[in-house]
């Protein structure tokens, strides 16, 4: 059975993809495709992979128990005749609010994913990570977090995000080192965010994926109006904390936005140049020109994956 980890990242339409998988689970079963989404993974299945503070069991004991639990569920999936199992949970790589507190992207992804690799007994075949331009990523994370009770970012907070020396390239490098035997595919949110059925084709090779629930948009970041109301509900004055206007909250000034976009351009340039052989950037959402599905091409890291890739000279 092919085990595929879909890791998000957060704010890259991961909830849309998970909803699509869950609502089409009966149809996918006909094609021998199964999915573990948050309603499954967060119901105790992955408990202990990341050591729980305050537990009477040591981290190694917690991991051993999780490994046994996962192995049992994998055997059950195989007994059902599944050929592909997608495990989709963006919290495996960390939490967006911690990113805000640390002013950096997924600082402990390497340690976390090494434990997940051990928990799945080294059976992970592919890892899919979506990335997003840092200006819109941090804006969406900030809005979503404020809506959930996080403080409104100050000028100093925003400056730290802009000047952070940790970018998607570092996240991808840590991830590749943690799971050296898995193929690592990188999907830009700007291309792949709204097409869950094409993500499914990329991951499994299913040529005619279902279109039911493929165009629903879920878990959007709250608008300025919604954020103002959330602050009022907490007894805070939104006039002092948020700008005027409607629509999406854009906390960065023009110079900061330009700096963040330049960093993302650098990340994409590195990926297009081969990512030091660590990962493959997928920027096209169709099957290749020969009519083959993405999995028709046997590849290694950094090599073409059966989909036309745009590369810079």
Tell me the two tokens of residue 254: 């023009």
Average pLDDT score over residue span 142-158: 95
pLDDT digits (tens, 9 = 90+) for 87-130: 999 999 999 999 999 999 999 999 999 999 999 999 999 999 99
Q: 271 vs 83, 175, 267, 295, 302, CA distance in Å?
A: 30, 14, 6, 20, 8
DSSP, collapsed to helix, strand or coil, labels residue 4 as strand
Domains of the chain by residue range: 2-139+167-217+272-296
**Amino acid 293: pLDDT:** 44
**Amino acid 258: pLDDT:** 97
Sign of CA pseudo-dihedral 83, 118, 186, 25: positive
Cα–Cα distance measured from residue 291 to residue 147, given in angstroms and rounded to the nearest whole number? 45
pLDDT digits (tens, 9 = 90+) for 208-252: 999 999 988 898 999 999 999 999 999 999 999 999 999 999 999
Angle between helices 134-147 and 224-233 (to 10 degrees): 30
Cα–Cα distance measured from residue 26 to residue 34, given in angstroms and rounded to the nearest whole number? 9
Tokens 């979503």 belong to residue = 144
Tell me the two tokens of residue 221: 């970041």
Does the structure show a pLDDT above 70 at 207?
A: yes
- CATH architecture, domain defined by 2-139+167-217+272-296: 3-Layer(aba) Sandwich (3.40)
């Amino acid at each position: 059975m092919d085990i595929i980890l879909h890791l998000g990242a957060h704010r890259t339409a991961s909830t849309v993809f998970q909803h699509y998988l869950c609502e089409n689970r009966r149809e996918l079963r006909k094609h021998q495709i199964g999915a573990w989404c948050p309603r499954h993974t967060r119901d105790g299945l992955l408990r202990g992979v990341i050591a729980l503070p305050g537990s009477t069991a040591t981290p190694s004991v917690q991991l051993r128990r999780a490994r046994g639990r996962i192995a049992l569920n994998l055997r059950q999936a195989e007994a059902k005749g599944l050929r592909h199992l997608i495990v989709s949970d963006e919290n495996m790589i960390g939490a967006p609010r911690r990113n805000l507190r640390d002013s950096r992207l997924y600082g402990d992804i390497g340690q976390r994913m090494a434990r997940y690799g051990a928990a799945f007994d080294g059976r992970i075949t592919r890892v899919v990570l979506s990335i997003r331009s840092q200006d819109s990523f941090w804006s969406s994370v900030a809005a979503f977090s404020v809506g959930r009770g996080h403080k409104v970012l100050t000028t100093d907070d925003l400056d730290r995000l802009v000047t952070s020396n940790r970018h998607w390239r570092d996240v991808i490098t840590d991830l590749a080192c943690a799971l050296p035997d898995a193929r690592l595919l990188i999907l830009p949110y700007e291309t792949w965010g709204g097409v869950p059925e094409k993500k499914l084709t990329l991951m499994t090779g299913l040529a005619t994926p279902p279109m039911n629930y493929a165009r629903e948009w879920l878990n959007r970041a709250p608008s300025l109006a919604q954020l103002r109301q959330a602050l009022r509900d907490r007894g805070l004055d939104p006039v002092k904390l948020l700008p005027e206007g409607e629509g999406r909250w854009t906390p960065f000034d023009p110079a900061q936005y330009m700096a963040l976009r330049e960093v993302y351009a650098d990340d994409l340039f590195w990926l297009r140049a081969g990512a030091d052989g660590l990962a493959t950037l997928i920027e096209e959402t169709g099957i290749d020109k020969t009519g083959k599905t993405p999995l028709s091409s046997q590849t290694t890291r950094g090599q073409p994956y059966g989909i036309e890739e745009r590369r810079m000279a």
